[in-house]
């Protein structure tokens, strides 16, 4: 009950501050500690190197950066990073938020869609073949290994804390601007 009330408050402040992507980025290294498999797969992928394929002049060209390093200017992040797709991790990355799928999304975690891919994989990208979502999604798999690990270790995982307490704990670490709007 109390938790639901607080969630509504968070939802209001999230909406008031604009799109999810507007939150500060913590950088891929910050995700690595908890998402080892995802990080390793991403690091070896063209997305991680997307800025490196540009020449020094092109690396200063906003027309190229918009797809090859979309958060270069606003967040000082090179390449297409975790947070370019999943949203800035400022509020969702603490463990007790991440463990609560619903809360994580209220705090800015984004589920990337086909439409999001097509923002960059469009007719103006160099590929001669049309973008095949299912095939390209498979080609950038960075979740199967982690899901398999979670499944096999679920029995040994320690019981989670009560959600209300976890949420209150999280709330205490939030800046006044976010907390103020919660009644």
Residues numbered 54 to 73 that lie near ligand HEC (CB under 6 A) are 54, 58, 61, 63-64, 66-68, 70
Q: How far is the CB of 42 from ligand HEC (least distance, A)?
A: 4
C-alpha 110, offset from chain centre: 6
Q: Is 97 in the site for ligand HEC (CB under 6 A)?
A: no
Q: Is 80 in the site for ligand HEC (CB under 6 A)?
A: yes
135: number of Cβ within 10 Å: 9
Q: Is 34 in the site for ligand HEC (CB under 6 A)?
A: yes
The single residue listed with the structure tokens 């979309």 is: 70
Region at 108 (left for phi over 0; alpha for psi -120 to 50; beta for the rest):
left
Which of 99, 180 has the CB closer to ligand HEC? 99
Q: Is 53 in the site for ligand HEC (CB under 6 A)?
A: yes
Helices (H) and strands (E) in the chain, counts: 14, 0
Q: How far is the CB of 23 from ligand HEC (least distance, A)?
A: 10
Q: Is 14 in the site for ligand HEC (CB under 6 A)?
A: no
Q: How far apart are CA 144 and CA 57, in angstroms?
A: 37
Site string for ligand HEC, 101-130 (x = CB under 6 A): x--x-------x---xx-xxxx-xxxx---
């Amino acid at each position: 009950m109390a938790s639901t009330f607080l969630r509504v408050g968070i939802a209001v402040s999230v909406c008031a501050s604009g799109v999810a992507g507007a939150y500060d980025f913590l950088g891929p290294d910050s995700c690595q500690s908890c998402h080892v498999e995802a990080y390793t797969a991403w690091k070896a992928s063209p997305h991680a190197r997307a800025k490196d394929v540009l020449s020094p002049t092109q690396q200063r060209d906003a027309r190229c950066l918009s797809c090859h390093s979309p958060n270069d200017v606003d967040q000082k992040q090179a390449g297409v990073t975790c947070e370019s797709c999943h949203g800035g991790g400022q509020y969702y990355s603490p463990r007790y938020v991440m463990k609560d799928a619903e809360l994580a999304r209220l705090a800015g975690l984004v589920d990337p869609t086909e439409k999001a891919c097509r923002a960059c994989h469009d007719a103006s990208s160099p590929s001669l073949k049309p973008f095949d979502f299912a095939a390209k999604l498979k080609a950038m798999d960075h979740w199967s290994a982690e899901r398999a690990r979670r499944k096999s270790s679920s029995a040994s995982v320690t019981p989670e804390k009560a959600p209300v307490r976890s949420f209150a704990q999280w709330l205490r670490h939030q800046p006044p601007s976010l907390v103020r709007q919660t009644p």
